[in-house]
Amino acid sequence: GMAATNSQKTPTRLQNYYMICKADQKFNQLVHFLRQHKPEKHLVFFSTCACVEYYGKALESLIKNVKIMCIHGKMKHKRNRIFTEFRKLPSGILVCTDVMARGIDIPEVNWVLQYDPPSSASAFVHRCGRTARIGHLGSALVFLLPMEEAYISFLAINQKCPMEELRPQRNITDVLPKLKSLSLADRAIYEKGMKAFVSCV
């Protein structure tokens, strides 16, 4: 019965999804997804500190009434405190880099969202395995550019990690103009944006 399945500690209960979308649609899809799932808890991975700072700030102004926390390499001393605080939240978004998640017992989350695919397949499994290892029924979604599609079969074959496709949502709000005006209004965001842009391209 149910009791037997609950005791399994394998990451098989984690649902893995991917979404293929063009570069100029990725952020819109992420924002839309987070707005649709406000009552839940999310871990959002970006590849660099600059991206975490920039997009973390942007998410704070674009997603209302949700606690958003950011953590990246320059904040090592605050890392544990932020994770502890995030653990206590009933819902919220923690934006971080891979490096920050290393060696940390990741809090239970509903979704692990990977804005950039990790540099290696093992990093991918490491990011996702977190959610499942706790025996928590979480899901993972990785955003891929059309040219990154080969990643899917690679994961399926090498990591025995089958992926299901989530189609990009149509007719969603375009937040990019807002992102631009935000950046221009706040010089610091703009500079981080340039850095993030360069490091993400």
Q: 47's torsion region: left (phi>0), alpha (psi -120 to 50) or beta? A: alpha
| Greater pLDDT, 63 or 99 | 63
Sheet holding 41-46, edge to edge: 68-71, 92-97, 41-46, 111-114, 139-144, 15-20, 164-165
Q: What's the CA gap between 35 and 59, in Å, rounded?
A: 10
Q: What is the pTM of this model?
A: 0.81
pLDDT per residue as tens digits for the range 161-184:
678 899 999 999 999 988 888 877
Domains of the chain: 14-200 (3.40.50.300)
pLDDT per residue as tens digits for the range 50-65:
889 889 999 999 999 9
